[in-house]
Amino acid sequence: MIFELVCVFILGLCFGSFSNVIIHRLPLDESIVTPRSRCPHCKAFIRWYENIPVFSWLLLKGCCSHCKKGIGLRYPFVELLMASLFMTVYSYFGLSWTCLEFLILSFGLVTITFIDLDHRIIPDVFSLTGIVLGLLGAALNPEREFLDALYGVLMGGGFFWAVAYVYLVIRKEEGLGGGDIKLLAWLGAYMGWKSIPFIILGSSLLGTAFGLAMIFKGGNLKSSLPFGPFIVIAAYLYLFAGQEIMNLYFSLFFPWMS
């Protein structure tokens, strides 16, 4: 089991490295295949042994070997985050089709989270493709139900679309972006319709807590984080601890229902 987890962790590091390429290039409409990785400062090509996830960054002390300028901590962070999620998903689901599906989902969610943080967009190439893959996986995977996934898409996308429409009518400006709507539909395709209320409530509470923290610090609430990352965090809370959180909630506030 330990050997398997190490292999999955290393696989996650590799996909995390590829995710960094997509995060940087996709919003700029650059090819994610060519040219090979370059220093973001001097544009010198990075040798293969300088591009080993995490370890090369540590050995080079976070600096380019050519211009000696610093390379951000985000690069190894994304790689370690991806590897940790891969290992957690494998530990939770074991060797199964569902595990493969959620590894693919994790790669997509980590990538779009950082694109959303940088550019306030969630590319359709991820969300729409994710919806299709989620529905296709539910149709082929005997461990999941297609109708549950379909209702998840309709409920997730439909709820946020309704909220966005009402906000637009009342405030005469856009609130939730279309990317958030498609993101929730994407998650519904993988996690089913029962996940949607939890993700909506969880992401709202997380966003509210962050907003209050920003207000107390004197920050500008309107220009803080996009909503997508909160949706992703809430989705993982549901995936790995949703039932435990709900049980704790009912035991604290509705003990007669436990």
Same domain membership, residue 101 and residue 73 = no
Average confidence score pLDDT of the chain: 87
pLDDT of residue 157: 86
pTM for the structure as a whole: 0.88
Residues 14 and 81 in one domain: yes
For the cut 80, the answer to whether the pLDDT of residue 150 exceeds it is yes
Do 72 and 122 sit in the same domain of this protein?
A: no
> Within 10 A of 229 (CB to CB), how many other CB atoms are there?
19
- Which of the pair, 140 or 72, is modelled with greater confidence? 140
The verdict on 245 and 133 lying in the same domain is: yes
Distance, in Å, from the CA atom of 231 to the CA atom of 53, rounded to the nearest integer, reads: 27
Query: Domain range holding 200?
Result: 97-258
Do residues 198 and 122 share a domain?
A: yes
Average pLDDT over residues 40-47: 78
Same domain, 210 and 257: yes
Q: How many domains does the chain have?
A: 2
The 10 Å Cβ neighbour count of residue 18 is 15
Last residue of a domain, one of 95, 111, 137: 95
Of 54, 69, 95, which one is at a domain's C-terminal end? 95
Burial class (CB in 10 A: 0-12, 13-18, 19+), 117: middle
Domain boundary among 72, 95, 118: 95
Examine the domain organization and report whether 84 and 4 are in the same domain: yes
Closest C-alpha among 177, 167, 186, 176 to residue 232: 186
Residues 154 and 38 in one domain: no
In this structure, the answer to whether residues 39 and 14 fall within a common structural domain is yes
Please confirm whether the linkage preceding 27 is cis (ω < 30° from 0): no
